[in-house]
Structures are given as structure tokens and as C-alpha cells.
Amino acid sequence: MDLPRTFHPNPEAEPYRLNQQSAYRVKSDFRVDFTNGGHVEAKGFLLDIEGDSVTPERLAEMIVSAMNLLRAGPVTIFSMTIVRRGEHQDSWPAPLK
């Protein structure tokens, strides 16, 4: 996969649906620029996915939907990795010792 790439998510795309039973997640670094100025960036952002793959185009749509970004413009995906649930550090808060 050749990243970074910038996408213009379809506002009519299927909404993202959280599925805490999914076996896989996508971990990504991205930036969303807003149509009215400003931007938001994330590193190591995790989203549940159905199956063991997702396209970067669909990931951009999922990000905008999951974060309810009404004024989202272009989404630049810097990196994305498919991980199995539980094979990465995703628990919060950390367990007490």
C-alpha cells in the first residue's frame, strides 16, 4: 500500500458501526482537514473492522463517521495496519498492580 494518500470521503458512505466482537481492528495515523479551517490528527487510532482487511478509502469514510466530523474535508492516511484484537496495547486504564 502506497501511503500517505489523501481521500475525499463520500458523505453518503455507509456509517461506521462499532463492533466490539470483531476479531480485527485497523490502527492508523491520519489527518482530517476541515472545510471551515483547522484540522485534527491522530496517531494509533483504532477502529473495529469486519473481516481482516479494509481499503484506505473506506478507512477515511469510517474515520469521519466514527468521529462525527460534520465539516470534514480531505482525509490523509499516513499509515494503517490490521491488528488482531488483543495483540496490541489497547486497554485503558492500565490494570492496577
CA atoms within 13 A on the CB side of 48: 11
Q: Is the overall model pTM greater than 0.85, yes or no?
A: yes
Split the chain (97 residues) into runs of 10 and give each run's mean pLDDT: 93 93 96 97 96 96 96 97 81 51
Q: What is the pLDDT of residues 55-72, one digit of tens each?
A: 999 999 999 999 999 899
Q: What is the mean pLDDT of the chain?
A: 91
Q: How far apart are CA 6 and CA 33, in angstroms?
A: 10
